[in-house]
Amino acid sequence: MDGNGRWAGKRGLPRSAGHAAGAETFRRVATYCKEIGIEYLTVYAFSTENWKRPPEEVSTIMELLDKYLREALLKMERDRVKMRFFGDMSLLSPGLRRLIEETEEVSGRFEGVQVNICVNYGGRDEILRAAGSYAADVAAGLVPSGGRPDEATFSRYMYSSGIPDPDLIIRPSGEMRLSNFLLWQSAYSELYFTDVLWPDFDERELDRAIIAFQARHRRYGGIV
């Protein structure tokens, strides 16, 4: 969800206004995904590298997440969106961690669309964490020792355990890189780049991305 800061800058607004607008866009896009039958939506809200930002900006983003979750919990029965969080939650405030746990617990029974929110998430961090958990399971005798895991087994150690790899990854705001997003899972994802800044992203932009995706020819290394 990139481009919040530039969106605000273009309007002479503080960066926090861009993040607030971006949060609204997220709400709208998640609702639209449910309407059109998308099964999984995974958004990158805050990376393991975003802590480098000024503390006021980090606080703004965390406060917006807090506000979003409180509202989502109130409207849970109406929206019926299953929500999960990917990332290392140990660095978040205890209050936010509790809200995240409650959201996952209360929304766990909903079916239709699952929204995964990446918070303090890094693709490399996720892979290292998976390797550590796998090694711990080997040491505990829970998985066979001596060999190496196969891809399916190792995938179960990722935050995305049990969730299919993304078909399509959309990067807004004109940047053409993955920036540590879903490095393991994106091996065969179709990538779509748009200059649209995240707060300006909407239903039509998602339609455009999906139409572009539908014209792609996926071969997964084969030739047919």
Residues that bind ligand IPE (CB under 6 A): 1-6, 46, 50, 61, 173
Q: Least separation, in Å, of the C-beta of 157 and ligand IPE?
A: 26
Query: Which residue among the candidates 50, 88, 137, 200 is catalytic per the annotation?
Result: 50
Q: Which residue is nearest to ligand IPE (CB)?
A: 5
How crowded is the C-beta side of 51, counted as CA atoms within 13 Å? Answer: 9
Active site residue 66: no
| Residue number with CB closer to Mg ion (39 or 49) | 49
C-alpha distances in Å from residue 184, one per residue of 80, 150, 158, 180, 215? 29, 13, 9, 10, 24
Q: Least separation, in Å, of the C-beta of 54 and ligand IPE?
A: 11
The answer to whether 56 and 129 have CB atoms below 8 angstroms apart is no
| Residue number with CB closer to Mg ion (38 or 172) | 172
Q: Least separation, in Å, of the C-beta of 16 and ligand IPE?
A: 10
| Residue number with CB closer to Mg ion (2 or 126) | 2
48 binds, among ligand IPE, Mg ion, none (CB under 5 to 8 A by kind): none
Q: Least separation, in Å, of the C-beta of 15 and ligand IPE?
A: 6
Mutual orientation of helices 55-74 and 94-107 as an angle, nearest 10°? Answer: 30
| Residue number with CB closer to ligand IPE (30 or 130) | 30
The answer to whether 143 and 134 have CB atoms below 8 angstroms apart is yes
- Which parts of this chain interact with Mg ion (CB under 5 A)? 2
Active site residue 2: yes
| Residue number with CB closer to ligand IPE (130 or 196) | 196
- CA 135/CA 142 separation, integer angstroms: 10
Tokens describing residue 212: 């572009």
6 binds, among Mg ion, ligand IPE, none (CB under 5 to 8 A by kind): ligand IPE
Q: Least separation, in Å, of the C-beta of 57 and Mg ion?
A: 11
For residue 192, list its beta bridge partners: 170
Helix (H) or strand (E) holding 82: strand 82-86
116 binds, among ligand IPE, Mg ion, none (CB under 5 to 8 A by kind): none
At 119 the three-state DSSP class reads: strand
Closest CA to 41 of 31, 27, 30: 30
Residues designated as active site: 2, 50
